Structure 1
Amino acid sequence: MNAYIFPGQGAQFVGMGLDLYENHSVAQELFERANDILGFSITDIMFEGSADDLKQTKVTQPAIFLHSVILGKVMGEQFRPDMVAGHSLGEFSALVANGTLDFEDGLKLVSKRALAMQKACELQPSTMAAVLGLEDAVVEKICAETEGIVVPANYNCPGQLVISGEVEAVNAACEKLKEAGARRALVLPVGGAFHSPLMQPAREELAEAIENTKFNTPTCPIYQNVTTTAVSNPEEIKKNLISQLTAPVKWTQSVQNMVQDGAKKFVEVGPGKVLQGLVKKIAVSAETESATV
């Protein structure tokens, strides 16, 4: 069985999507529709902008979504997932890939999500940190014992967990994690505490938009970040997508469940190869490749 996986924030690169635009009429049409929907020329930034231009949250999230979704559309008949999953933002790309969301609704939700998260980040100084070389249980315990808000946010692969929360609490937890034997506990250059309780204002804003969007029955199950198991019920998908903003991304557990349910090959659809690297650390025998046209 083929699992199609979709990357999240951080996978962007200068010039992303230009080859698709120049070589495929379906891509050109979708990119132009995206410019109209967003109300600004995201293609100018994706194709010709600087790395700093691409880093703006209102640009980054739609740009990665567009690269993934349009690549999938261009693949046409070759695009045949038996199951899908996306890392954080990538969950929206996955939901277009399996027909739960249409292109336009998916893009509108991603844009709304990006702006809501940006606003939440501005309400309170917050950050994230990558922790390497410790058991998940140790990281969870130290977060729970640290004063202030700091929680596990991304279970990326065994021995790699990202924590998220208030700046002081994250810094304090990093010191304790190093003392506990972490190979590294490194604060990340991000604008806020994604997948933590501090995203509650964004969650409330996005919840309304999700509730008012039509979700179809998918063509294949999605393994969502919150539950890590196969989901096909549109109402359940909505609920999990709303929870995702304040809950951890359980990528390790999702990949393990996909393998258990028969996934032999993982195809990464979109910019970069980060997810393939994580899959290799979670399921050593799984085959991985990048989607190509």
Structure 2
Amino acid sequence: MHRSVIAFPGREAISKGLDKSFYEEDVQVKDIFEQASDCMKYDLAKMCYGGTRIHVKWEMICLVTHCYAIYKVIERMYGKPRAFAGYSQGEFIACVAAGVFELSDTLRLIHQLESILMSESSHDECMYRIIGIHKETLEKCCQKVDENHEKVCVSSYISHTQNIISGKYNHVKKVIELAKKKGARWAINLYAEKAYHSPLRNRAAYRAKADFEHMKVFNHAGPVYSCYDGTKSYNGKLIRDKLSRQINHPIQWFTLVNNMKSEAIVDLIEIGPGCTVSANTRIADSTLNCKWIGNIGDL
């Protein structure tokens, strides 16, 4: 594990379903779920594994608990990795796994953030993955449609020629039209509920500022790579502050992957449902060895 990064997925992974094999087979996982359920005053195991659809307000709470519990099994078996990372909201899980945040504090913070986000109107917002056009050209397309970058922008930098834009629907469609004229091959709708990682979330970031500032942090924790700037940090307060900024700033995954590579990371081990983080990492740099653990059989 000394040349590995443990990575966690964002909200979109919940659509893959949460496998219950770790919960059924491992006492430590059950203990973590019991603690999390006590904190949230709700049976999270039943919510995760009961077979019914998880309400959007509880998706990240369930995903964090599920992925963190699996990580603790891996840590017990194989030890700690060199560092941690999380794509988008997955960085919350990375902070808990690294020991920067307590699990209970993180669940309460996420619950508050979800309330803030759900209170904002976003009926005409969307996110699209644009493939086949250089990121600088895509930025120029966004600027041509919206000079102030308030209604549409690049919201996730994944590679030179595959990135994500967020914004108001009409503005995004205009950017897609321009991008296709410039050579873009595909524009894939991500069916996001909101235009995450963009200035359209400025108000949410402002409202959440105090909640982040009140989060207790621990400095003697494992290093975490930040989606905000792609760099690795050891300082708990700095990690927390960077995490708070990704709400309304683009994800710098391409930079993050390049930094991992330059710091001699060989393996990225993704924990949780699906393999979104691994896919984005391979798009950024196909030479990194990506693995994923979603069920107990993957061990």
TM over 0.5, yes or no? yes
Instruction: Give the SS at the match of 1:267.
Output: strand
Structure 2: unaligned runs, 5 residues or longer: none
1: distance between equivalents of 2:14 and 2:123?
Answer: 26
3-state SS of the aligned residue for 1:157?
coil
Conservation of the 8 A alpha-carbon contact between 1:113 and 1:206: yes
Match of 1:257 in 2: 259
Query: 1:14 touches 1:47 (CA, 8 Å); kept in 2?
Result: no
Distance 2:144 2:214 in 1: 39
- In the alignment, structure 1 residue 234 sits paired with structure 2 residue 233: no
1:156, distance to aligned residue in structure 2 (A): 2.6
Q: Displacement of 1:124 after TM fit?
A: 5.9
Separation in structure 2 between the aligned mates of residue 107 and residue 232 of structure 1, nearest angstrom: 22
Q: Which 5+ residue runs of structure 1 have no aligned equivalent?
A: none
* Superposed displacement of residue 17, structure 1: 4.2
Task: List aligned pairs for 1:1-293, cutoff 5 A.
Answer: 1-13=3-15, 16-50=18-52, 53-54=53-54, 56-75=55-74, 76-120=76-120, 122=121, 125-147=124-146, 149-291=151-293, 292-293=298-299
Given that 1:72 and 1:79 are in contact with CA atoms closer than 8 Å, whether structure 2 keeps it comes out as: no
Deviation at 1:218? 4.5
State the TM-score, normalizing by the size of structure 2: 0.90
Contact 2:126–2:194 at 8 Å: present in 1 too? yes
Q: Secondary structure at the match of 2:127?
A: strand
CA contact (8 A) 2:197 2:248 kept: yes
Q: Which residue identity does 1:115 align to in structure 2?
A: S
How far off its partner does 1:26 sit?
1.4
Moved over 6 A (4+): none
Looking at structure 2, the residues matched to 57 and 157 of structure 1 have their Cα atoms a distance apart, in angstroms, of 29
Query: Residues 117, 79 of structure 1: CA spacing in aligned structure 2 closer, same or farther, 3 A cutoff?
Result: farther
Residues 15, 88 of structure 1: alpha-carbon distance in 2 compared, 3 angstrom cutoff? closer
TM-score with structure 1 length normalisation? Answer: 0.92
Distance 1:201 1:41, change over 3 A: farther
For 1:189 and 1:282, how far apart are their aligned partners in 2?
22
Q: How many residues align?
A: 289
Q: Which moved more, 1:277-286 or 1:64-73?
A: 277-286
The amino acid across from 1:63 in the alignment is C
Q: 1:47 to 1:19 in 2, by over 3 A?
A: same
Percent identity, aligned pairs only, is 25
Deviations 1:213-235 (A, max 9, x none): 11111433211011111111222
Cα offset for 1:182?
Answer: 0.9
Equivalent pair of 1:109/1:206 in contact (CA under 8 Å): no
- Counterpart CA distance in 1 for 2:119 and 2:43 is 22
C-alpha deviation, 1:112, in angstroms: 2.2
Give CA-to-partner distance per residue, 1:142-179, whole Å, 9 cap, x none: 11111361011112334221111112111211111122
